[in-house]
Structure 1
Amino acid sequence: MTDSTPGSADLITRAAHLRPQLWEDAPEVDRTRRLTDRNFAAMRDAGLMQLFTPRRFGGLAANLRTYFEVTAALGLGCSSSAWVAGVLNAGNWLVAQFPEPAQEEVWGADPFATTCSVLQPTGEAELVPGGIKLTGKWGYSSGSNHCDWAIVAYPSPEAAEPELQLALVPMSEVEVQDTWLVTGMRGTGSNTIVAHDVFVPDHRVLPLMPIFRGENLTAEDPVHRAALAGVLPVSLMGSQIGAAETALEFVIEKAPKRQITASTYAVQAQSVGFQVDLAEAATTIKAARLIGAQAADVLDDYAGRGELPNETVRSGLRMDLSWAVKRACESVDRLVTAHGTSAFGEFSPMQRIWRDTGIATRHAAFNVRISQEIYAKALLGLDPYEISFLV
């Protein structure tokens, strides 16, 4: 790291300083279903979209613990903004796995370039001289409103067995269909990317499974050696921890001023029942944050040594992160109930946080039942890949 490269504490502080602006714009982000331009520009200008850009291109190549703490800090202000920051940085992490000519195309002229990604293989490719022609639709592409490149998955047209490939394409060559019409995380712009016979040269095509198997362990920057199965959930978790912590702060702030209807308590803060709900939520959210930080530290430790965690460790981390996000979401629900029905008023930020965490916790990366099956199989010496390739 050069003297001019910001350290972890500096990056986290930069994210924290954006909280008031993100919080101010959060209702507009929710209403318009996209980040405000000034929110995205503020995160970009603070270097928070370059966390995984290789250092040789002017990026930060920060570790996963920094990544988690930055997105959690952003989530205190706006969970959609934090989610987009997490996803686009993860997309850049994937770009760093592509051959050098592809990386040069993405960052050579613009070190601030960002990349969205969809790993569900809902497209198809035709082999042509020098590359492929790509056609398909890829849904739930978070950050599609604010990125320069997209990575999409498709089954290899030449493999005898199903084998996933990644294609890196400029956003200028695909269409973005406005399909993200949901009740929560509305500002993430998780729309559908559409490609029609888009030519992708060979150097912008990459097999996916070798990365899961650890064939990235020789990467120059330590973070690019991390286990992909861990990078993906960590990329999404911080936003939800930050959102839950903000909900807790809001309920605590209002408790000395709010009555409990049809009770003898003048204010909520006097109620033992309210106090129990508050303590339970606070402890659970704190535990969720600690789990996220520990998972990032474990992944950083292995990456620093150039080692791939074994299947049991990777499966266990996925289980931990799924459990933590689910419990954080449940804590928000508990806080909403404790705060009272006014939490559902359109004027209240609590209803937005409640909707956001409710949607986010149901992301495939946090499917607790699937995570339990994967982890249990690994513990029993069975094959977790029978359940999912995200191991």
Structure 2
Amino acid sequence: MKKPNPLLDALQEILPTIAANAAQAEKERMVPPENIAMLKGIGMHRAFQPQAYGGLEISLPEFADCVAALAGACAGTAWAFSLLCTHSHQMAMFSKQLQEDVWGHNRDATASSSIAPFGKAQNVEGGIILNGELGWSSGCDHAEWAIVGFRRPMAEGEPPAYCFGVVPRSDYEIRDDWFVAGMKASGTKTLILKDVFIPEHRIEAAKDMMEGRSAGYGLYPDSKIFYAPYRPYFASGFAAISLGIAERMLVVYAEKTRNRVRAYTGAHVGAATPALMRLAESTHQVGATRAFLEKTWQEHAEYGERHQYPDSRTLAFWRTNQAYAVKMCIQAVDRLFEAAGGTSWFDHNEMQRLFRDSHMTGAHAYTDYDVCAQILGRELMGLDPDPSMV
């Protein structure tokens, strides 16, 4: 039996309003401020924030259940806001000075990100100068900070180091270029950085954050969530969102099909064998996906409770389980949508939005199953990781 989840209970109260705002969110191509205010009102942005700054430090299973439920109401909102939450987990592994910069005067502060190393860094005294057009920053309109990726030049003969820097909103511009077919409401825009200075205390190497060597590692000895690599928490929302979309699709398909009558023949579709079989198979597939993900999320929680760092095989499974789960969710959604009829394609029909957003959950670098299958296959065969596989 699952333990009580007060955050999920509070979230359920505001989901009808968030669902009602979904059309507006798509039209505006960003999460409505009302949604952000309601989600902050229940404290969801504090999910992975250190308790030292008023955070909740809830477990990954509790958080993922909230994200899945939120995705059923508005996937774009879930995508953007879940990242604003998980970035707090990442920042808790930076230096104490960085955490003071972010939360010392504003405990409600959040960060968006653009972590692909597109920025061009130049070493200077006390830090780096960063320039670049950094895309894919979901929810950036609502964040006070941004986590940005870059390759930092190292000593002669050494390869550049993949690093993250944290910059305040005053240091970058936002380019509104989010014109897409799926996940429209996420507001995933481009950050423009011009000669931005990032001091050393706001910089961490990605490798250190995956191997327990970052400046903030061990700062919170009583925590159950910060003795962990950053990446599993950062990526946790993607599969949860895909699951929430698929679970919502089961409901919408059943409601639409139950009373659907074929225009040319008058046949009652809801009682037809093909419709029943499609709904049954997708229901089994989505249920299996939830069970699979819940087992993975629970492993995350147990490792954190024991302060046990995962080995390479465990990390490979955590990394790739979610991509396989997304693949199954998309299949379940497609099975229903392809038989939902022409009216399901109208803009006002929720099913077409669920279909589009579902496919977008499989388009992220961390949910690309072609990549993940290679990562896991190499691990299972005892081969060294391929550095070209993120």
Q: Given the two structures, how large is their TM-score scaled by the length of structure 2?
A: 0.94
Q: Does 1:258 align with 2:246?
A: no
**Which residue of structure 2 aligns with residue 130 of structure 1?**
126
Inter-partner Cα distance in structure 1 for 2:109 and 2:29: 22
> What CA distance in whole angstroms lies between the structure 2 residues aligned with 1:210 and 1:273?
52
Q: In the TM superposition, what are the counterparts of 1:1-391 in structure 2 within 5 Å?
A: 9-159=5-155, 160-215=158-213, 218-220=218-220, 221-263=223-265, 265=267, 267-388=268-389, 390=390
| Cα distance change, pair 80–92 in 1 and its aligned pair in 2 (3 A) | same
Mark the runs of 5 or more structure 1 residues left unpaired by the alignment.
1-6
Partner Cα distance (1:263, 1:358) in 2:
32
The range that moved more, 198-207 or 123-132, is: 123-132
Structure 2 CA distance, aligned partners of 1:34 and 1:99?
Answer: 31
What SS does structure 2 have at the residue aligned with 1:53? coil
Task: State the 1:228 CA deviation.
Answer: 2.7
Q: C-alpha deviations, 1:122-174, integer Å up to 9, x for none?
A: 01222222222111121111111111100101111224222111110001210
Contact 1:218 1:306 in 2 (8 A): no
Q: Percent identity?
A: 28
| RMSD of aligned alpha carbons | 1.6
Distance 1:145 1:187 in 2: 12
For 2:110 and 2:33, the matched residues in 1 are separated by 15
How far 1:264 sits from its partner (Å)? 6.3
Following the alignment from structure 1 to structure 2, what is the Cα–Cα distance between the partners of residues 9 and 260?
43
Tell me, in whole angstroms, the C-alpha distance in 2 between the residues paired with 1:81 and 1:161: 38
Q: 2-side partners of 1:153 and 1:18: how far apart? A: 34
Gaps of 5+ in 2: none
- Identify the range of structure 1 (111-120 vs 208-217) with the bigger mean alpha-carbon deviation: 208-217
Measure, in 2, the Cα distance between the counterparts of 1:52 and 1:17.
Answer: 21
* In 2, Cα distance between equivalents of 1:384 and 1:276: 41
- How much does 1:261 deviate? 4.3
* Cα separation, 2, equivalents of 1:256 and 1:137: 49
Following TM superposition, where does structure 1 have runs of at least 4 consecutive aligned residues deviating by more than 6 angstroms? none
- Structure 2 CA distance for aligned equivalents of residues 294 and 361 of structure 1: 21
Which amino acid in the other structure matches residue 380 of structure 2?
L
Q: Distance in 2 between matches of 1:375 and 1:283?
A: 25
**Shift, 1:51, TM fit:** 0.6
Task: Provide the rounded CA distance (Å) in 1 between the counterparts of 2:116 and 2:247.
Answer: 31
Aligned partner letter, 1:116: S
CA distance change for structure 1 residues 178 and 8 in 2, over 3 Å: closer, same or farther?
A: farther
TM-score, normalised by the number of residues in structure 1? 0.94
